[in-house]
Each structure stands twice: as C-alpha cells, then as structure tokens.
Structure 1
Amino acid sequence: MQANPALHTPAKKNCTFEVEGRPDGEGYLNQNNAMFGIIVIQEWWGLNESMVKTTDRIAKMGFQCISPDIYRGKVAQNREEAGHLLGGLDWEGAVKDIEGAAKHLREMGCKKVGVTGFCMGGALSIAALSFSDQINAAAPFYGVCDLDKFKLDNIKGPIYGQFGEKDEMKGFSSPDDAQRLVEAGQKAGKNVKVKIWPGVGHAFMNQDRPEAYNAEVAQQSLQEVATWFKQSKFLYSLVYQKATPTTTIGGKLPVYVTPAPYGLVVIQEWWGLNSSICKTADIMSSYGFKCVVPDLYRGKIAKDTEEAGHLLSGLDWKQALIDIEESARYLKEELHCKKVGILGFCMGGALSIASITTSKIISAAAPFYGVCDLNTFKLSNANGPILAQFGQNDDMVGFSSVQDAKRLELTAQQQGNKSLQVKIWPGVGHAFCNQDRPEVYNQAIAKQALDLAAKFLHENLK
C-alpha cells in the first residue's frame, strides 16, 4: 500500500458532544442548514484527514455531517497499528459515542439522522442502528458487525449496504458477508438490502488509497447512497402518513378543517391528503385562516414518488375542481367566512390557479411552484388576484421552473390579467416549503414565502 499523509494525519476536531456514561466525545463537524444529518464513521485508521475529506464530500450532497472520533485521539501510522487499534476497540463505548453524535445533530435541527461508515465504520454503522433509537437508517460500506451481539431484530430503520465484488475479507466484508447480512435481515423481518459493485474490492471508496480506490464506482456508490437516504420512506414520516379527515361535505367529500376567521382552501401536493399537508394547514390557521383541505384522491396516499406520479396522472381535474368549489362553498355557507382564498403546492399550486379561473366563490389565490394548462384555464377569467411563488433552482421545466413562472407572467399580460404577481425565491428549488422533505426544505425562505402569502391573502380577503 502506498503511504499517504492524509491516512496518518489526525483530523482537526471542531466539536464536542455529550455521551451517556462516558466523557464527552469529540469529532469533525460540517455544519450547514440541511435538515437531515449523517454520521460518518472512520475506517480502522482513525479520525484522519482522509475521513474529513469524505465527510465534506457527503455534506456537499445536502446533509449536515459529523464524524466522531471513535479512537478518541489515536490515529494509526501503519497497518499493524491500525490492527491493534481495531482489536482493542470498545464496541459498546463506540456505539454510545455514535449515539451522542446523533443527538448532537438533532440538537442542531436535524429532523432525521442516518449513519454511514467504511470498513470498521461500516460494521459500526450497523451496530449503532441496532443500539440507538436516535438513528433512522444506515448505509454501511464494506463491513458487517457481529450480528449475534448487535441483532438486526433491534433495528428501527432500513439498511442499504455497499460492497465490492472482489473484496477478499471473508468473515467481514466479502460478497458472502453481504449476503449473510441480507439473510439476517430477512430472518428478522427488516428492510435490509445490499449493492455489490462489480470490478472493485475492499476500500474502493478511499481516495487516499490509490491501490484500492475506484473513482467512478466511488462516485456512483456515494450518489446512490445519498439518493437512498433522501428518498427512503423513513425520511418522509409525515409525507407518507395518511391524515384523518375531520368531517365530510355532503356526506361524500372528506376534508380536514382548522379553526380561524378567514376562509382558505389548502390543496395537497401529489402525495395526497397526508399529515404533512394538514400540518401546513395548521400553520396557515395560525396566520388567521379557517382552512379546509379536501381529499382529492378520496383516501389514497402515495407511498413513494412512483405511486404519486400514478395518482397525479390519473386525477380527474374536472372532479377535483368541483371538490375545491364545494370546499370553498362549505367555508362560505357553513362556516360563515365572508371571503375565501386558495393556496396549494406543486399539483395543488396548479389546481389553485385553475380554481380561481373557474370559481365564483374563490377571491384570491396563492399558488406555490405549479402552473396549470393556461390554454384551458385562462387567466382572463380569474375571479381575483394571484400571487404565484417559485424557486430559482426548480428544474421541473414545463410545470414549475423559472421559465414556467415567466410564461405565467407573459400569459397574464397577453390575456389582460393585471392582478397576477410572481415571486421567484433565490437559491431554492422545487418543494422548498415542505418541511417534511428535509433534502429540499429551506426553513428561512419557507417562512418568508408563507408570510408573504398570508399577507397577500389577508389584504385580498378583507
């Protein structure tokens, strides 16, 4: 193995955190505004400069990252010393350190925490998930812990392991060990899967070990793990959680209702009437709106993005607009709101624009990142003003990108609608208001955008 100073140089630690039953832990922290945290666990070398580079690389993919110092200050200078450090490791103490790092990320605002690690760190990732209820998922790289001691029956989240086809470390990280991990997961009834990358062996992720590193596979594997962390069902706990409607309109249309003076119809994203959109309605209620959220999918909730796409493509827009109109009528006639507005996100944003062009009850619309068919739903027919908000980095061209925001403005001018306003928020993309999707949520911008929408609606519903 070629020597590389990054392997043997201790990292500059920049954080401390409490550890139950042990002295405070230390580590390297890459802190940012991401709402999802990742604990990055060292190889057998120790917390060195190489691990700091990997931690920074993961943080750039949209996570707050911490790498705890498992050896508590020691860094191996050669393979023999690394073997001694690993051989003398207090595994129970190490998983307590990892749990302390997880709590530290949560204290910094991370809603969910995952763990990943390499070699020894991969094995510790699995052990930590089985030990701690502070960790929601694990993506270990080429390492399996003692599954008799750290039982998969105890894990509360999924595992996605990454292994190399040519890894010869039998009993620890070979393809046979990867299969052993999957079989143990199946036996325990847990969500455990692995990816065995062709043509690479042990340590294929370590950029400071040129004899083992594979840049192409390393990039693909890390990107796949990042995407898995962001898309796994454990992350969107409220996005996938079905909400309970509080009443029905006419005994047919289920709706969720909040108490407040002004009337506001809140339209779901493509997921359905879930706990996440109800939480948003509760936020709008705190601004002084009596909100009704109609269940446009009639009880169906998407369990993943593929199912959400099917539900959206199968939506009967004519019936959806009838449901929205009935919700607005319910606010006005049954709940005695003098005026009614509408607000929606993504699919709900597009439906909000469509609704104000077809309804005589809705008096103002505040759509977020979604544009309907402007040939079918003409802005010249709008029953009130529209404030549409978009993200500068939204790449959903044809629906909610900056080009679509500008198309909305141009169409309003062409159709003689002088009351439409467009706000494009810098530095954010699609779904920046969805606090239950931490990989895209921007807390500061979301607060400003909802403040702006509430002010606009109040001014036009007085």
Structure 2
Amino acid sequence: MSHEQHRNPRQNVTFESATGSGHAHGYLRVPGTGSGPGVVVVQEWWGLTDHVVAVVDRLAADGFVALAPDLYGGRTTHDSAEAARLLTELPVERATRDLAGAVTHLLERPETTSPTVGAVGFCMGGAFVLTLAAQQGERVGAAVPWYGVPGPDTDYSGLRAAVLGHFGEEDASVPLEGVRAAAERIRRHSGVEPTFHVYPAPHAFYNDERAGYRREAAELAWARTTAFLREQLG
C-alpha cells in the first residue's frame, strides 16, 4: 500500500517502490544530451526541498540522469525540531523500499547508460546511501555520503560499491571518530577501501541554504564527487 501523499510541486516522477509495496514519488532530471549514468540523490532531513532539487539539476547539468526520491511523501520543513520529528516518524523499511525502487527505476530507464547506479546523499541521506549500497550489492557502483554515516551496528557485508565520503572536521553532529569507525567497519565487512575526505568545515557545508555553508569546501567536494561518479559509472 502506498503511504500518505502530500502535495509537493517538486515531484515530477512516480515509480514502483520495491517488493510491490506501492508507488513512490520523486524529482528526476535527464541531462541535455538525453542520456547518462544514473545517480540516486538522497535528501537531508528537511525533505525534498529546493536545495535537493538544485543538487539533482546540477548532476543533470554535469551529465547524469539523477533521481531524488521523496522519502517524506511531500512534506518539507526548514525547522530543525520539525525535521527531527519527520525523521523520527519515517519508517526505515519504507524509505529503503523507496530507495531500492529508485535504483530499479533508473536502471530500467532508457536514458540511463550505466549498468549500475551511483548514490549521493547528505546528512540523513548520507547514512541512507551507505545502507542502500550495502543492501543493493552489485546494483550500486558508487556511494557518496556527505556528512552522514549509519549506526555502528550496520552490516556492510553486501556492499560492492566504491565509496567516497565528505565530512567536516567542525561537525559536532557527526564526530570524526564515528566516521573512522564506519570506514573500518566497511573495510572489515566488505573488503572495500573507502576514501573519506575531511574539510575545515561544519555540518552541512554544501547546503547554501544553511549557516554552515562553506563555498570552497563545497566546490572541492562536488568536483571530487562528479569525477568519482564518472570514473566508477562510466
């Protein structure tokens, strides 16, 4: 059964969630060339906001077929307390089904040229990126978490993707010791050697709608991300 849907003018695509559990919605952009490697974009805890749309648009401008699933079913917020509530109320199983459905949707689209997809996510979405890559195995070829990692009990044994991460050394919400522990767990479980970059920046340093935005770190991390996605996805 599909979950409750709210109006969000940013939604422009509907696709099947995984395991026949109904439909999911999101925002999709195809590059001007008409085709390119597929990339799933996973939102921050604010929802499918204009910032997430801008990330999808920028990936499309850089040659990727990009899709951001709307994990909150149309709801967005700019209030941290409300965002925390939306995150708490988000069923993880539903979110992972919608993300898996997004992977399938991209791989089945005729515009997608890559045999695997990339996954790029921010904060909450960064944690979901690594979880998705571990669950989807060979279907995710590149995973790029930005300032977010899953909990310490995450099982990465199914992960086959190359991993590139971006983290801020001033980020109090994602301490670097937790980042280092996640990297070690990835190595131990999957044999994948992740590349994690640390920047002189706080949390959410790519989000130009937030006070923590740092242009120099954001642009360097973006350039590294797009080069990595091209290298891994073709």
Structure 2-normalised TM-score? 0.89
| CA–CA separation in structure 1 for the residues paired with 2:187 and 2:215 | 32
The aligned counterpart of 1:145 is: 150
Backbone CA RMSD of aligned residues: 1.6
The aligned counterpart of 1:56 is: 57
Find the residue that maps to 1:132 and give its secondary structure.
Answer: helix
| CA–CA separation in structure 1 for the residues paired with 2:78 and 2:22 | 25
Give 1:93 deviation, angstroms. Answer: 1.4
The aligned counterpart of 1:15 is: 13
Larger Rg: 1
AA aligned opposite 1:67? A
The aligned counterpart of 1:214 is: 214
Distance 1:11 1:49, change over 3 A: farther
| CA–CA separation in structure 1 for the residues paired with 2:103 and 2:196 | 23
The aligned counterpart of 1:135 is: 140
Find the residue that maps to 1:152 and give its secondary structure.
Answer: coil
Q: Where does structure 2 lack aligned partners over 5 or more consecutive residues?
A: 1-6
Matches within 5 A, 1:166-181: 166-169=170-173, 173-181=174-182
The aligned counterpart of 1:26 is: 25
Residues 166-212 of structure 1 show CA distances to partners (whole Å, capped at 9, x for unaligned) of 1111xxx2221221121112212223221111x20100000111x11
Distance 1:147 1:190, change over 3 A: farther
Residues 358-405 of structure 1 show CA distances to partners (whole Å, capped at 9, x for unaligned) of xxxxxxxxxxxxxxxxxxxxxxxxxxxxxxxxxxxxxxxxxxxxxxxx
| CA–CA separation in structure 1 for the residues paired with 2:58 and 2:161 | 24
The aligned counterpart of 2:3 is: none
Residues 263-317 of structure 1 show CA distances to partners (whole Å, capped at 9, x for unaligned) of xxxxxxxxxxxxxxxxxxxxxxxxxxxxxxxxxxxxxxxxxxxxxxxxxxxxxxx
Give 1:35 deviation, angstroms. Answer: 2.7
| CA–CA separation in structure 1 for the residues paired with 2:121 and 2:103 | 14
Find the residue that maps to 2:157 and give its secondary structure.
Answer: helix
Find the residue that maps to 1:136 and give its secondary structure.
Answer: strand
The aligned counterpart of 2:197 is: 195
Residues 111-161 of structure 1 show CA distances to partners (whole Å, capped at 9, x for unaligned) of 22110110000000011111124322210000011242x411111212111
The aligned counterpart of 1:95 is: 96
Contact 1:157 1:191 (8 Å CA) reproduced: no
The aligned counterpart of 1:225 is: 225
| CA–CA separation in structure 1 for the residues paired with 2:45 and 2:201 | 19
The aligned counterpart of 1:336 is: none
Distance 1:11 1:183, change over 3 A: farther
Give 1:11 deviation, angstroms. Answer: 4.8
Residues 195-247 of structure 1 show CA distances to partners (whole Å, capped at 9, x for unaligned) of 111x20100000111x1101121111011011011123xx3xxxxxxxxxxxx
Runs (4+) of structure 1 moved beyond 4 Å?
none
Find the residue that maps to 2:97 and give its secondary structure.
Answer: helix
| CA–CA separation in structure 2 for the residues paired with 1:37 and 1:65 | 6
Q: Where does structure 1 lack aligned partners over 5 or more consecutive residues?
A: 1-8, 236-436, 438-462
Aligned residues: 220
The aligned counterpart of 1:159 is: 163
| CA–CA separation in structure 2 for the residues paired with 1:187 and 1:18 | 34
Identity %: 32
AA aligned opposite 1:144? V
| CA–CA separation in structure 1 for the residues paired with 2:48 and 2:94 | 16
Matches within 5 A, 1:295-334: none
Residues 319-359 of structure 1 show CA distances to partners (whole Å, capped at 9, x for unaligned) of xxxxxxxxxxxxxxxxxxxxxxxxxxxxxxxxxxxxxxxxx
Matches within 5 A, 1:87-126: 87-109=88-110, 110=112, 111=114, 112-126=116-130
| CA–CA separation in structure 2 for the residues paired with 1:15 and 1:186 | 36
Contact 1:15 1:29 (8 Å CA) reproduced: yes
Find the residue that maps to 1:159 and give its secondary structure.
Answer: strand
Residues 52-110 of structure 1 show CA distances to partners (whole Å, capped at 9, x for unaligned) of 01211122122110000011121124111100011122112111111111111112132
- 1:66 matches 2:70: no
Contact 1:40 1:116 (8 Å CA) reproduced: yes
AA aligned opposite 1:217? A
